[in-house]
Amino acid sequence: MRGNLPPTERRPPLRFSTDAWGYRRNPEVPVGAVPDLLFVGGDSFIYGANLSDEETLPAAFTRASGLLSYNGGRSHLIPATLADLDWLLSRFSSTPRRVVLVHLEQHRRRLPKRGLDSGIGVIADLKYVRYVATGWWDASPLSNATRRLFRRLADDKNLPNTYGQDIVAYALPDGRLILFRGSETFPARKPQTEAEIRGTAEFIHQWVRELEARGLQTHVLLLPTRFTVYGPWLEWGKLRAGVLQAVQDLHSLEAELRGRNVGTINGLRVFQGTAAGDVRTGELPFYREDNHWTPEGVDRIARVLADSLGHTRPEAHVAKRIEGVGRSATP
């Protein structure tokens, strides 16, 4: 859609539901059960873009680990703050024991001098006001019909397809295209300085300290862009040096976090091992025409995450937890 190209990759309709608080449901968790673990951060990757309820990472992780997990991911329209976290924790009848904090590679952070929430609430409020003020038009049937008509005409026959400049396309060995959006190539186009990597590590570390101050044992999951995973096998031009540097930058961030004694799982390592074969066969754990991962990619991370946390498919544990569920209203 972003490049206004005819789609070749389709999937069945999505099963999408949320609880009363607007967070994505994990169908593997019985109604009324108190979660063992909370997922936060990760934007649309954790919330579950292009995934059905049972295909999201919290759901796959519950199946792989036996730990009942709550999907605290949210849209990237308005970033989560500590106030959001505390609001959510106050809704549980008891605090989950663990949390997985998800950081996306393309996000470069810097710790504000006055703390995590200084100024963030105001910025978030302004974004929300702007969203409400313009959303009536953006979501209106007339606006949708206008955009669709213009896209249909912008086919390089009637009108130039100006949308094509928003994506980068590469041909896989089997002839199919894999399309990347600008946010995915950003780490390769704008390599980080050592100071920027340390700044992001300090920002994440401060979040870890805040989470642990609330009694949550925290694990950090780093998720790479598709371009950092597959770029070394696709790009042979001027971007090649940049994407190889992006690979190193993500490993450097992992090292910075481990140096601060932060338990870290690097998703790049999970996908690197099969990347060359993925490109050769065209069977990728990510969509070719969408920047998100497929259920297969989710399952890969879920299994590694379960092993890292020391829990792997204890079905008896799940059954025991379900038997002990009371009539609490907590989802």
pLDDT at 114: 67
pLDDT in tens, 237-259: 989 999 999 999 999 999 999 99
Q: Which of 46-50, 117-121, 225-229 has the lowest mean pLDDT?
A: 117-121
Mean pLDDT of 307-329: 52
Mean pLDDT of the chain: 88
pLDDT in tens, 87-118: 999 999 898 999 999 999 999 988 777 667 65
| Nearest by Cα to 180 from 256, 239, 245 | 239
DSSP alpha helix (H) spans, 217-294: 226-234, 240-259, 267-281
Q: Which of 111-120, 163-172, 227-236 has the lowest mean pLDDT?
A: 111-120
Q: Which of 6-15, 34-43, 52-61 has the lowest mean pLDDT?
A: 6-15
**128 band by pLDDT with thresholds 50, 70 and 90:** low
Residue with tokens 């497929």: 294
**323 band by pLDDT with thresholds 50, 70 and 90:** very low
Count of residues making up the chain:
331
**pLDDT at 125 exceeding the cut of 80:** no
Instruction: Kindly give, in sequence order, each residue whose CB lies less than 8 Å from that of residue 119, ignoring residues fewer than 6 positions away.
Output: 112
**pLDDT at 273 exceeding the cut of 60:** yes
Domain boundaries along the sequence of the chain = 37-323
Q: In angstroms, rounded to a whole number, what is the distance separating the alpha carbons of residues 32 and 197?
A: 41
**10 band by pLDDT with thresholds 50, 70 and 90:** confident
pLDDT at 326: 34
8-state DSSP, 98 = E
| Nearest by Cα to 197 from 254, 244, 147 | 254
- Return the structure tokens found at 306: 């379960």
| Nearest by Cα to 183 from 76, 322, 83 | 76
Look at residue 169 and give its three-state secondary structure: strand
Class of domain 37-323: alpha beta
DSSP alpha helix (H) spans, 154-193: 182-189
- Whether pTM > 0.85 for this model: the answer is yes
- Return the structure tokens found at 44: 């649309």
- Return the structure tokens found at 282: 């065209």
